[in-house]
Amino acid sequence: MIAGRKVTVKDGNVDKALRKLKKKVADSGLLLELQKRQTYTKPSVERKVAKAMARKRWKKFLASQNSINPK
């Protein structure tokens, strides 16, 4: 097991320990990296997805600016 991703079970509470482990794995980005490595995506598709995400962030930013300063 990779260092920093250990969880101890206290008082036989396996459910709580499992939740903590899932949170640690999600925060480390291990699953996202694993999913990326499972399939090959063409560079053109990666660029298209990145542009779409940037547009989404920009629209979200503009919406937050409009809600702060309504005209």
CA dihedral (34, 39, 40, 41) positive or negative: negative
| pLDDT tens digits for range 18-36 | 999 988 888 888 888 888 8
Whether 4 has a pLDDT exceeding 80, the answer reads no
User: Residue 8 — very low, low, confident or very high, per pLDDT cuts 50/70/90?
Assistant: confident
User: Residue 14 — very low, low, confident or very high, per pLDDT cuts 50/70/90?
Assistant: very high
What per-residue string of b and e applies to 32-54 under the rule 16 or more CB within 10 Å gives b?
eeeeeeeeeeeeeeeeeeeeeee
Looking at residue 1, its pLDDT comes to 47
User: Residue 70 — very low, low, confident or very high, per pLDDT cuts 50/70/90?
Assistant: low
Instruction: Provide the residue ranges of all domains of the chain, joining segments of one domain with +.
Output: 1-39, 41-71
Looking at residue 62, its pLDDT comes to 93
